[in-house]
Amino acid sequence: MSLPEEEIRKLFRVHKTLNQMLKDRGYIVTDSEIEMTEEEFVEKYGENMTREDRVTLKIKRNDESVKLVVIFLKEPKPKVNEVRPYIKRMQSEKVFRAIFVVKESTRYVLDLISQTPKLHLEIFMETELLMNVKDHVFVPDHRALTTEEKKALLEKYTVKENQLPRIRVTDPVAKYYGLRRGEVVKIIRQSETADRYVTYRYVV
């Protein structure tokens, strides 16, 4: 059953935010995907598009072994039996990261994700993706440090990671960049008195 026009318009906005988010995370996303108009979106995916058709696989720009799949769940309040087949397929195809886009998050899905520690599974509600949080004028650039960069930073300032200022993993910007607990993120702000101002936060 095809989606109503209003739903297609909403999916188009989600599509644009997702593509920009994945590009900012370092995945291969073409300019045409980001700059696509609503008319081009409908032409490419069809007026009869459904949520379950919107499965997309992305590859990390600097490491082709890192793959992430974006999955739109069909049911407004998805249950385990809708999610489990996707997880089994990911495991068989050695894809260890996924973003599930849902209308409403449910305990069933959250419980299943917590029971699958070997996979990095994220949930975004459609409403979180209608606007790009990074486009807000007060949101500076964020970049997760590599393990080596984190070690060098802590040694340079002779501090432990938990002594750094913190950012919650549930923070909208942390979710946007896919930050994980235990990571340290570099935050670059523009300054009126200098070219930029750099701070670091520990993800909790």
The tens place of each residue's pLDDT in the chain, 204 residues long, gives 567 788 888 999 999 999 999 999 999 999 999 999 999 998 888 777 777 778 899 999 999 999 999 999 988 888 888 889 999 999 999 999 999 999 887 787 778 777 887 899 999 999 999 999 988 757 788 899 999 999 999 999 999 999 999 999 999 999 999 999 999 999 988 776 667 889 999 999
The tokens describing 31, both together, are 């300019």
Which helix (DSSP H) or strand (DSSP E) does residue 120 occupy?
Answer: strand 120-125
Asked if residue 119 lies in contact with residue 98, where contact means CB atoms within 8 angstroms, the answer is: yes
Torsion of CA 127, 128, 130, 133, to 10 degrees: 150
Residues of the chain within CATH 3.40.1340.10 domain(s) are 5-131
CATH class of 5-131: alpha beta
Identify the pLDDT of residue 75: 86
The tokens describing 90, both together, are 């990911």
In angstroms, the CA 25 to CA 120 distance is 14
Q: DSSP for 60-77, please give it.
A: ETTEEEEEEEEEE-SSSS
Residue located via tokens 């979710």: 175
Which helix (DSSP H) or strand (DSSP E) does residue 202 occupy?
Answer: strand 197-203
Residues of the chain within CATH 3.90.940.20 domain(s) are 136-203
Asked if residue 142 lies in contact with residue 164, where contact means CB atoms within 8 angstroms, the answer is: no
- In 3D space, the residue among 204, 118, 100, 67 whose CA is nearest the CA of residue 110 turns out to be 100
Which helix (DSSP H) or strand (DSSP E) does residue 122 occupy?
Answer: strand 120-125
In angstroms, the CA 11 to CA 102 distance is 11
Identify the pLDDT of residue 125: 92
Q: What is the CATH number of domain 136-203?
A: 3.90.940.20
Identify the pLDDT of residue 54: 80
